[in-house]
Chain A
């Protein structure tokens, strides 16, 4: 029984990354933008693990681990920033946060 060609995993990673980019460019809600960033990071993780399988080494897994940790730190600080922006400007629409002075 044959396995799955490795390029299919990379194509899936490309599809997810592109969907993340599309979400980032076309959505207006700050939180949805943030979630598109997380989608891009997940797509990249899949690429790392796929290459780690091909080269039969564990380094790709370590890199994925670090990407996850950095994504967690970024999510915590980013959501705190979003809360502060919401407290000051009462909006979650990125189009309305367009001047330094409020």
Chain B
């Protein structure tokens, strides 16, 4: 059952990721990216990370991607025209990227030959209680710094996007 769920949602994630990269219209890319994030949320649930899975849907798919979709709608971004890039770049680049991918996968396989297989429910340390405990005891300083970072980002976005009073 774990294998079937993993295969289904991994396939959805890869197909949506290819669609992000290949589609010409930005809205189609954005919706495919939402699909990637939703299927990754299910994979996080399979790995026992229930809080992170819900946070992924609330923060990433529900807020960040809505921001992307808003900006695409406001800027009225149309479909991209045909690329003027040289064909050499794509003929050489794509096989090299596949080689890069192959190397990363090979090393991933080699480093963990004996890790125990992932079963749903085997890792119970991802509950909100454990994450909260770690966040507020061991990682308190990064937590507070990240709050200040968000505040700075809000201020920056407001300053950059407001209308100039001429």
A residues apposed to B, CB below 8 Å: 1-23, 25-29, 31-32, 34-36, 38-39, 42, 45-46, 49-50, 52-54, 56-59, 61-62, 64-66, 68-77, 79-84, 86, 92, 95
CA A52 – CA B101 in complex, angstroms? Answer: 22
Counting residue pairs across A and B whose Cβ atoms lie within 8 Å, the total is 237
Q: Supply 22 A–B pairs (Cβ within 8 Å), ascending by A.
A: A3-B3, A4-B3, A4-B117, A7-B113, A8-B6, A22-B21, A23-B20, A35-B30, A39-B17, A46-B43, A46-B44, A49-B44, A49-B52, A56-B125, A61-B134, A64-B49, A65-B52, A68-B55, A69-B150, A72-B63, A79-B71, A81-B160
Known contacts A4-B2, A84-B161: does B14 contact A16 (CB below 8 Å)?
A: yes
Known contacts A5-B115, A49-B52: does B150 contact A72 (CB below 8 Å)?
A: yes
Interface of A is mostly: helix
B14 touching A12 by the CB < 8 A rule?
A: yes
A82: chain B residues within 8 A (beta carbon): 71, 75
Tell me the smallest distance from the CB of B65 to a CB of chain A, in Å: 8
| A73 to B, closest residue via Cβ | B153
Tell me the smallest distance from the CB of A94 to a CB of chain B, in Å: 11
A7 touching B109 by the CB < 8 A rule?
A: yes
A83 touching B71 by the CB < 8 A rule?
A: yes
Tell me the smallest distance from the CB of B100 to a CB of chain A, in Å: 6
A79: chain B residues within 8 A (beta carbon): 67-68, 71, 157
Interface residues of B in 87-136 (CB under 8 A from A): 89-90, 93-94, 97-98, 100-101, 104-105, 108-109, 112-113, 115-120, 122-123, 125-126, 130-131, 134-135
Tell me the smallest distance from the CB of A62 to a CB of chain B, in Å: 5
CA A12 – CA B42 in complex, angstroms? Answer: 14
